[in-house]
Amino acid sequence: MRNKKLLLFALAAAFLAQPLRAENQFQSFGIQQAGKLLANPPLFFYEFQRNMESTFPLPPGKRFGVNTHLLGGIIIIPLPDVTSVFNFSAKVRVHPESKLAPGIPQVDLVGGYWNSALTSMVVDKNAKTTDTETKLSRAELGGNYGAVVFTSSLEPRVRLFWSYKFSRMNMDIGLSKPEVILGNSVSAFKSELTEHTVAAGLEHTYGENKRWILEGGYGVRNSLLSAKVSWYRKYLELGLNIYPESVFIMQPQLNLHFNF
């Protein structure tokens, strides 16, 4: 353990042993990322929806499942995000693997919905343009999705799954007065985003009610790449979502599910 810490320390020290230009570097990086956000706000919020969407297959022998996204976020520790209150997903198995004929995959249908109740807590409906501070005059965020998942066993403990998912997200955020952000005058963000995502992944069972899942996906409409690695237990799932082109690339997740 001590050696590992020393190794990590040495790597970090070597990486940071550069001329002191860190402040400008981080400022520049921050401006770049803020620019990405402003360039397409719905894409930024859609990542939160992607975090609550679940296209993992139902475990073998399970016919029905429900799950909810508890915590997510943009830093190392998962925290409540805009979808945490409220979101809900359900899965139903319409065909068990090899029932109709040997080799025919398990087929699951998935659907989910979210509507952010947290936004009402930060909205000031009495906000006026004459107020000194800029406030949120309205904030509506929500979405839904549907998916079909096909799953085949490669061997007793390994399953391969494919999925197609359709997602829709709506956002309507209004400011009490226009704000200049990075040179742009912004008074509202209002948009709808739709996406068609094709994904594939591998599930590895390494113990009773213990699964390790890796999934990669591609959103055809907006060229969105995503990957997810998850430790899936009987009721809880700890995951790490990876969005290579995102403002926040790695986003940890904690989800709760019940499968029957």
Partner 1 sequence: MKRHLAALTVLLSGGALSAAPLENRFFTPYFDMGVSQGAYLPSSGDFFSGAHMNMNVGALAKITDKHSIFALYGLNFAGQAFRFQDTSEFDSKDLSHNFNFEYRWQVLDFLRLRPSAAYGMNYTRTAAGEIWGEGLYDSKSVGGGLAADYTFGMFDKDATLTANWIYRQIKFPNYTDIIREFQGTDSQAELAGGLKDQKLAEYGAMLSWNRIFARFRYNTINYDNERVVQSNGVYGAEKQKDSNIILSGGFSRNLWIFEASPELSYATHRSNQNFLLFQSVTDPSPVFAANFYDYNEMGIALPFFMNLTKKWALNLGLDWKRRSYSDREPRSGTNAFIAGEKQTNNFVIFTGGVRKKMNEVASMFLTYSQVVATSNNKFQRYLPTNYSGQSILLGFRLTY
Which residues of this chain interact with partner 1, rule CB under 8 A? 7, 11, 14-15, 18, 24-25, 28-29, 103, 152, 154, 158, 160, 162, 200, 202, 204, 206, 212, 214, 216, 218, 223, 225, 227, 229, 242, 244-245, 249-250
Pairing of strands 87-95, 64-71: antiparallel
Torsion of the alpha carbons at 185, 189, 190 and 193, rounded to the nearest 10: 120
Of the two residues 181 and 249, which places its CB atom closer to partner 1 in the complex? 249
Which of 4/125 has CB closer to partner 1? Answer: 4
Residues 185/175, Cβ–Cβ less than 8 Å? no
**What CA–CA distances, in Å, run from 47 to 50, 51, 149?**
5, 6, 20
In the bound complex, what is the minimum distance in angstroms from residue 135's beta carbon to partner 1?
33
Q: Which two tokens stand for residue 228?
A: 């997810």
**Closer residue to partner 1, CB minimum distance, 92 or 229:** 229
- Rounded to the nearest angstrom, the gap between the alpha carbon of residue 20 and the centroid of all alpha carbons in its chain is 35
Task: Choose between 139 and 193: whose C-beta lies nearer to partner 1.
Answer: 193
Nearer to partner 1 by C-beta: 61 or 103?
103
d(CA 59, CA 61): 6
Q: How many CB atoms lie within 10 A of CB 249?
A: 12
What tokens does 85 get? 């209150």
Q: Rounded to the nearest whole angstrom, what is the least distance from the CB of residue 37 to partner 1 in the complex?
A: 15
CB of 161 to partner 1, least distance (A): 10
For the chain, the residue count is: 260
Shortest distance, position 229 Cβ to partner 1, whole Å: 6
CB of 140 to partner 1, least distance (A): 27
